[in-house]
């Protein structure tokens, strides 16, 4: 697949709110209108629609078709990507593949969810039978299990996790689209002393479910050139892995599929971790970011705290981290939440980060996490490397 032949020509994002008073399709229409205004494309030129997973739409097996109908989009390629928080990045990869295969020419990647206002999920898997009855309730407990195991194996300096939390919160303060409830500075002491949720996972470790939407307009580089669009962002490396080591009965829960997905993405891009200019990892819990740093090769396995201690993760630093605040400090738009960090990476590469603009826009690395399995880390892992102007 000629991944680098695809071009992101526009992006859009709504304000993230704790509970939306607007319908999910209204949010989608706002994204569509904004990307058209930004790029000068006509609505009729969009012939592909790829949605991320959505708790709002999870009860509708025709979600992508219904959304296309509501937005009055007549398309040649239509799909919902259902790999949880990996779906926004996965949708971009699938858009590039569809364009490269000649299935469509211009794709709207739409990430919208109003999980707080309207959730329609019915999860049919092990949790109802095996974990909920014994009190392992949801993602905080699962990540508490992973965190405890990590600390047992390697030791854990919680002040270093707090350093990540503080950097992201400082970025959210500078992000007008972040949830207002979260746009308040915090300190490492605030993090360490925050209320325990699922020992040792704290309140300030945890993402807050919100409502919102974001999206990208993707076309071929040739089409972008014909349109006279010189400011584009191009995916140059991508890796994806679902149910990492699922065939093994006993695994190390501090490892994730980002190890193999990252190796593939770096190989495609012809880059090494040390060359990454800004890092936008999926952040439903703080520990997940540190594990990803290790799996992606920024540091060795078990050396995450030392790596964090030696780095500056602010937007002015040597490895800017989730410069929009990440989901933890900007809010998680349900299963569309992975779009928040992806859009921020694109925004930075467009040079439109405003008061939090990074100096080095050579590239950006974005990841996704999707699903919580039993006695492992997470179901799906994706890694994408982006560059400006190809």
Give yes or no for a contact between 281 and 289, defined as CB atoms under 8 angstroms apart: yes
User: What is the residue-averaged pLDDT of the chain?
Assistant: 95
Distance CA 89, CA 160 (A): 27
- Give the H/E segment covering residue 236: strand 233-242
Cα three-residue angle 137-294-214, rounded to 5 degrees: 65
All structural domains of the chain, each given as residue ranges with its CATH number in brackets, are 3-120+210-226 (3.40.47.10), 130-207+234-388 (3.40.47.10)
pTM of the full structure: 0.96
Distance CA 306, CA 129 (A): 39
Classify 48 as helix, strand or coil.
strand
Pairing assessment for the beta strands 77-80 and 48-51 based on DSSP bridges: parallel
For the cut 60, the answer to whether the pLDDT of residue 378 exceeds it is yes
Distance CA 277, CA 345 (A): 11
Instruction: Give 156-184 pLDDT, tens digit per residue.
Output: 999 999 999 999 999 999 999 999 999 99
For the cut 90, the answer to whether the pLDDT of residue 138 exceeds it is no
Alpha carbon dihedral 52, 54, 59, 60, in 10-degree steps, equals: -40
Mean of the pLDDT values across residues 200-219?
97
Mean of the pLDDT values across residues 371-389?
91
CA distances from 317 to 36, 42, 286, 310, 363 (A): 34, 39, 19, 11, 15
Mean of the pLDDT values across residues 364-373?
94
Query: Integer distance in angstroms from the first to the last C-alpha of the chain?
Result: 15
Distance CA 203, CA 354 (A): 29
pLDDT score for 275: 98
Classify 185 as helix, strand or coil.
coil
Instruction: Give 14-50 pLDDT, tens digit per residue.
Output: 999 999 999 999 999 999 999 999 999 999 999 999 9
Distance CA 206, CA 221 (A): 39
Closest CA to 18 of 130, 148, 115: 115
Distance CA 384, CA 368 (A): 9
Distance CA 91, CA 93 (A): 5
- Give the H/E segment covering residue 80: strand 77-80
């Amino acid at each position: 697949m000629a991944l680098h032949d695809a071009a992101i020509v526009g992006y859009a994002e709504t304000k993230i709110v704790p509970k939306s008073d607007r319908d999910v399709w209204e949010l989608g229409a706002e994204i569509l209108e904004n990307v058209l205004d930004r790029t000068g494309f006509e609505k009729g030129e969009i012939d592909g629609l790829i949605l991320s997973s959505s708790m709002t739409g999870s009860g509708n097996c025709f979600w992508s078709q219904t959304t296309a109908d509501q937005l009055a989009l007549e398309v040649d390629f239509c799909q919902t990507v259902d790999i949880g928080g990996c779906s926004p990045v996965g949708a971009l990869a699938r858009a590039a593949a569809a364009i490269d295969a000649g299935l469509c020419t211009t794709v709207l990647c739409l990430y919208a969810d109003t999980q707080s206002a309207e959730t329609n999920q019915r999860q049919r898997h092990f949790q109802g039978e095996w974990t909920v009855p014994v009190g392992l309730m949801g993602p905080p407990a699962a990540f508490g299990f992973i965190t405890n195991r990590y600390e047992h194996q390697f030791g854990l300096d919680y002040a270093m996790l707090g350093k990540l939390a503080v950097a992201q919160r400082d970025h959210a303060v500078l992000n007008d689209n972040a949830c207002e409830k979260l746009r308040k500075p915090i300190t490492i002491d605030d993090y360490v002393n925050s209320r325990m949720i699922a020992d040792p996972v704290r309140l300030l470790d945890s993402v807050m479910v919100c409502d919102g939407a974001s999206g990208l307009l993707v076309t071929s580089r040739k089409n972008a050139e014909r349109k006279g669009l010189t400011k584009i962002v191009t995916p140059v490396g991508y890796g994806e892995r679902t149910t990492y080591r699922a065939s093994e009965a006993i695994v190390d829960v501090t490892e994730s599929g980002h190890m193999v997905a990252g190796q593939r993405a770096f190989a495609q891009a012809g880059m090494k971790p040390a060359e990454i200019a800004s890092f936008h990892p999926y952040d439903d819990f703080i520990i997940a970011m540190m594990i990803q740093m290790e799996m992606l090769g920024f540091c060795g396995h078990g050396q995450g705290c030392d790596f964090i201690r030696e780095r500056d993760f602010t937007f002015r630093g040597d490895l800017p981290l989730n410069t929009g605040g990440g989901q933890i400090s900007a809010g998680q738009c349900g299963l569309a939440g992975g779009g928040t960090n992806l859009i921020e990476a694109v925004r930075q590469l467009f040079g439109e980060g405003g008061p939090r603009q990074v100096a080095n826009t050579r590239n950006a690395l974005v990841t996704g996490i999707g699903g919580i399995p039993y006695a492992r880390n997470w179901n799906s892992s994706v890694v994408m490397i982006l560059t400006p102007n190809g």
